[in-house]
Amino acid sequence: MKPHYHKTFHLPVGKIHIMIYGKDENPLSLEETLSKVRQKIQRKMFLLQQVHGSEYIDLRKNIPENNGVSFDQEADAIISNQKDYALVIKTADCVPIFFWHPEKLLFGGIHVGWRGLAKKTITKTLQAVDDRENLYFWVGPHIQPLSYEVGEEVYSLFLDECSMPTSPNPGKRYLNLNCIVHHELEDLGIDNSRVFYDREDTFHSNLLYSHRGGDSGRNLNILYWESI
Output the pTM of the full model: 0.92
- In sequence order, which residues have a C-beta less than 8 Å from that of residue 40 and are 6 or more positions away? none
User: 182 Cβ partners below 8 Å, 6+ apart?
Assistant: 192, 195
Domain ranges of the chain: 6-142+192-225
Q: What's the CATH superfamily of 6-142+192-225? A: CNF1/YfiH-like putative cysteine hydrolases (3.60.140.10)
- State which amino acid sits at residue 88: V
What is the pLDDT, as a whole number, of residue 142?
Answer: 97
Instruction: Tell me the per-residue pLDDT of 65-108, one tens digit each, with 9 for 90 and over.
Output: 665 566 668 999 999 999 989 999 999 999 999 999 998 999 99
